Amino acid sequence: MSESGAVKPNAEISPEPALARVRIPSRLFSTLEGVFNEEVFFLILSIFIGIFSGLAVVCFRLAIDWTHLALLGPLPQTHNWRLFAVPSLAGLAVAILVLHIFPNIRGSGVNQTKAALYIFNGYIPFRTAVGKFICSALAIGSGQSLGPEDPSLQIGASIASALGRQLEISREKLRLMAPVGAAAGLAAAFNAPISAVLFVIEEVIGRWSAGILGSVVLSAVSSVVIVRWFLGSEPLFRIPLTTFKRPTELLAYVVLGIVGGLASVVFAKSIGYLRPRLRSLPRWTQYFQPAFAGLLIGLIAFLGAPQIMGAGYDSMDQAMHGQYAWKMLAILAVLKMVATTVSFVSGTPGGMFAPTLFVGAMLGGAVGDLERHFFPHLTASTGTYVLVGMGVLFAGFLRVPMTSVFMVLEVSGNYEIVVPVIVANTCSYLVSRGLQAVPIFDLLTRQDGLILPSLEEDREEAILRVEDAMLPVPTTILSAEEYIDANFHRIQDSTDSTFLVRLHPSGWNIITRDQLQRFFQEGKGDHRLASVLPAQSVPSLYPDLPLDSALRYVNTYPLVPIVNRANSLKLEGVVSQHSVFQKYGTRSPHN
Amino acid sequence: MKWRFSKLALAKLSLPKLVPRSAPIILLILTLAAVTGFAAVSHLVVRYNANQQARGRKLYAHGRAAADLGHYDEAIAAFRAALTCDRSNSQYQLSLARALRDSNNPDRLDEAESYLIALWQRAPQDAAINLALARVAAHRGSIEDATRYYHNAMYGVWASEADANRNKARVELIQFLLKKAAVANAESELMALAATSPNDPAAHFQAAELFVQAQDYDGALREYQDVLHSDPANAAALAGAGEAAYHAGNYAAAQNYLQQALNSNPPDPNLRPLLLTTELVLRSNPFRSHISDAERNRRIGDAFTQAGRRLAECAQQKGVDLDAPGAAPASPLVDLQSRWMAAKPTLAHLRSPAETALPDEIMDVVFQIEQQTAIFCGQPQGLDLALLLSSQKREAAMQ
């Protein structure tokens, strides 16, 4: 049984079953009668994934609400014994379920989905969906300071993976099922399809891929339609009137961004520090870690801050409408950070999205109120700062800058605050990145012994392009329309062994000195060069393409022409195997 | 052993194999599965919603009871809990917004407004929502917003008793405008109220009271007269009409109504001084029509003498020596004394038919003295008050 929250190649979730299945030749697409090709079928399948994920998320949300009502009542009041008892007892039950029945459902689920994509060929056991559903609903419903979004993401991914395996689709497509399902689950949980798509691209897939974008969008949209059908299209919050009047007020948002960035670092470092230490404690303590977290949360709630329990959307809503003074907002931000840290590091299954939004909202409101206290001319309402603050912590803590901006815009439906949101989120992101090199999700995967690609790392990495390995235009370029003897005489002054041949009306080919000489000696001097060249021309590249794209050709062709994008007849230079390998710092295998 | 069993059971937890290998059939099966799932979740959601709604109704009823007793904190908690059961329930949202607004906590107005704005966006024509928004704006003291929402409420859709509710909304707006001293706005609303209010003594009486608050005594008198038209013995309306006529300078009507009010049951003793002053005004005014020249001259003479007396008393009260020889006219009272002394010999020429402007000139001096002494020495009593009121009426008539 895995001690880790992330998926590990152990007996429980070994990639072997998936590999075994995908090894079977795909029989499905051989019988499609020419109506559906694999791409079309995958797109249609994405819609079904969205529908099934949406239905599952609706049930998940009902389960959380029902658990909350049954265990804590509709509106928990302070100094109620249930606040104290319920989270800790539920924590104990969750620990038993996690340790004995659902061992791979600890944590948020984002990393597990990413691991499924990159390590396990898209394999996520269906049991994960069942376990995540039951345990997260119990944990969140009983007041653990976690959110339903990341579990929804994993439930969606798990459903998609199970469906893909049942249909025995190709390994390549099966890998992509997990992010498609993840987008559907997240979109349904957040009721925000754009943010879900962006998050999956930024965090789960980790790169921009046009091939999967259509499927991700389709699944996200269809799941949102399902959720809105059943649960209505009411937004998560009642959005207050937000204003942005004077550009000078951006300074206030810069301050909010910096504070949010610092808070993100503290939050991430706390989790990063405590999680491995708690995991290293004796196994029997793991039965009591979620219970202890529940006890602490219950104590905080009992003593006067029940707002920190669960996802906390109602409290965020009230903060947006000025229900708390700045001191209370600051206290709630700190307490929620503490509660979420202990809930998460204890291994309780549940998400980080909602707590991140909560902390950001409270922090935003506190900073905004304080700024307005000292600078009364600031016109933005507390609700505006709360809304911007939500995105600030999202950008700084989860390190998904684009998702954070779109999430706030999508949730608020207000584009008037787009500039403050971008400014504050950028500041928070930069501060967080400056003080903590590894984003939280990457940190968690590394703690679990997995190394997964990340978009942030890709951004940092300098990309080698074709122009970096480009050699100057050769002095001798032959023409396919000229006779062989004329071309042969032209190469006499050259020391090169291979020559580019310009084809008519466009295109390129290659001929070696020896080949040309042989044709000349065979008496073909009065033939046009075009008549003896191989039918297949040499592909040309553009200078801005990644150097990787040249690797496909330099092994086959000794010279690959590089042409101008605006004028394909204009030769910019050439690349050879040697020049490409030299740029990568390795020796050519032929040298 | 028990756990091991559970593990084994769950290890088998996987979706059944789909047998067909044709894409259209697979899509058909997926569609059937989706429809089945949809139906199952629908059933679940309907049952869950029914439970939640029942719970919400209980909490809502509790909140209403608390709000009716003025226990707004308890009502707010109950309405919030009701909303967790049925988030989109407009009635719960409206009640919560009203409780937040009425809880006398300015910090809660934002939240109340946001609920109401959300409701308004869904039903901008709903008069009850507009009225609630108008009251929030009134709590904030925003004349512009309150007027807009009150107007929306007046012209909006009411579930029942539309005319009465519209009238109430306008009355509320007028009261708010008067409270904010926006008299011009209030007067225009009063005009509309007078035109649209039902032909009902209570409505006319309410309108009359509002006219009085707006100091539009002519309008008030008209409304009181409308009340008296339907209910001639209405003591309150008689008293109101008397006071309105008095303030409007219509002393003949004032005397009539005040007299009737004092004769009615129960009489209002506070009206007696008003009636006495009214009678004095009527008896002392030399410009009243249908009086003889002799009577007019007598009244002018009496007024002139009274003005001289009032001037002397006021000067004494203020320590001004009016008789000091060669005293510089540092005080307006000294100037008035000079004018009074200069006019005194002309009294003898009042009977002369050639001196047609003389009564006006003498009364100008009298009125000047009464107005200036009122400024320097306070509101006069008795005949001086009557002369002052006559002067004000004359000034108003000339303007």
Going residue by residue through chain B, which has 399 residues, state the pLDDT in tens, using 9 for 90 and above: 343 434 444 444 444 444 456 677 888 889 999 999 999 999 999 999 899 889 999 999 999 999 999 999 899 989 988 988 887 788 998 999 899 988 888 778 877 887 888 888 888 999 999 999 999 999 888 899 999 999 999 998 888 888 888 888 999 999 999 998 888 888 888 888 888 877 788 888 888 989 988 888 888 999 898 888 888 888 888 889 998 998 888 888 888 888 888 887 666 777 888 888 888 888 888 877 777 878 888 888 888 888 888 888 888 877 777 676 555 556 777 788 888 888 778 877 777 776 677 878 888 888 888 888 888 888 888 888 888 888 887 777 666
For the record, the structure tokens of A495 come out as 């020391």
Cβ atoms A364, A399 nearer than 8 A = no
Which residues of chain A lie closer than 8 angstroms to B108, CB-CB? 323
Tell me what ipTM this predicted complex has.
0.72
Cβ atoms B262, B271 nearer than 8 A = yes
pLDDT attached to residue A3: 34
Identify from A99, A167, A329 which residue to disrupt to test chain B contact, counting B C-beta atoms within 10 A and taking the largest count: A167
Strands A477-479 and A560-563: unpaired
A75 and B77 within 8 Å at the Cβ level: the answer is: yes
If you measure CA to CA, which chain B residue comes closest to A59? B41
- Report d(CA B195, CA B100) in Å as an integer: 35
B27 and A127 within 8 Å at the Cβ level: the answer is: no
pLDDT per residue of chain A (591 residues) written in tens, 0 to 9 = 333 333 333 333 334 343 334 343 455 555 455 556 677 888 889 999 999 999 999 999 999 999 998 888 776 666 677 888 899 999 999 999 999 888 878 877 888 888 888 888 888 888 889 999 999 999 999 999 999 999 999 999 999 999 988 888 888 888 888 889 999 999 998 888 999 998 888 888 776 666 688 889 999 999 999 999 998 877 777 777 777 778 888 899 999 999 999 999 999 999 999 999 998 898 889 889 999 999 999 999 988 888 899 988 888 988 887 778 889 999 999 999 999 999 999 989 999 999 999 999 999 999 998 998 888 888 888 888 999 999 999 999 999 888 899 988 888 777 888 899 999 999 999 999 999 888 888 888 888 888 777 766 666 667 789 999 999 988 888 888 889 888 888 888 888 889 999 888 888 999 999 988 898 888 888 888 888 888 788 999 999 998 988 998 988 898 999 998 888 888 999 999 899 998 888 655 554
Identify from B15, B32, B145 which residue to disrupt to test chain A contact, counting A C-beta atoms within 10 A and taking the largest count: B15
A74 and B115 within 8 Å at the Cβ level: the answer is: no
Give how far B177 is from chain A: nearest CA, Å.
26
Which residues of chain B lie closer than 8 angstroms to A48, CB-CB? 30, 34
A238 and B45 within 8 Å at the Cβ level: the answer is: no
**A44 — contact with chain B (CB < 8 Å)?**
yes
**A553 — contact with chain B (CB < 8 Å)?**
no
Selected residues 369-398 of chain A with any CB under 8 Å from a CB in chain B: 381-383
- Report d(CA A231, CA A189) in Å as an integer: 11
Selected residues 241-270 of chain A with any CB under 8 Å from a CB in chain B: 241
pLDDT digits (tens, 9 = 90+) for A126-150: 888 999 999 999 999 999 999 999 9
If you measure CA to CA, which chain B residue comes closest to A325? B107
Domain B42-114 falls under CATH 2.60.40? no
Candidate CATH numbers 1.25.40.10, 3.30.1700.10, 1.10.10.10, 1.10.730.10; the one for domain B115-284: 1.25.40.10
Rounded CA Rg of chain A: 30
A100 and B118 within 8 Å at the Cβ level: the answer is: no
Does residue A591 sit in helix, strand or coil? Answer: coil
Cβ atoms B295, B279 nearer than 8 A = no
Give how far B12 is from chain A: nearest CA, Å.
9
Amino acid at B263: N
Q: In what order do the strands lie in the sheet with A477-479?
A: A477-479, A498-502, A508-512
- Tell me whether domains B42-114 and B115-284 share a fold: yes
Cβ atoms B145, B116 nearer than 8 A = no
pLDDT attached to residue A1: 34
Name residue A477's beta-bridge partners.
Answer: A500
Cβ atoms A51, A124 nearer than 8 A = no
Selected residues 186-245 of chain A with any CB under 8 Å from a CB in chain B: 226, 230-232, 234, 238-241
Which residues of chain A lie closer than 8 angstroms to B55, CB-CB? 69, 74
pLDDT attached to residue B3: 37
Q: Looking up tokens 């990568």, which residue turns up?
A: A584
pLDDT attached to residue B299: 85
Taking the domains of chain B in order of start, what are their residue ranges?
A: 42-114, 115-284, 293-397
Name residue A561's beta-bridge partners.
Answer: A574
Nearest to B37 among A52, A240, A314 (CB): A52
Which residues of chain A lie closer than 8 angstroms to B48, CB-CB? 62, 65-66
- Report d(CA A156, CA A49) in Å as an integer: 8
Identify from A28, A313, A317, A382 which residue to disrupt to test chain B contact, counting B C-beta atoms within 10 A and taking the largest count: A28
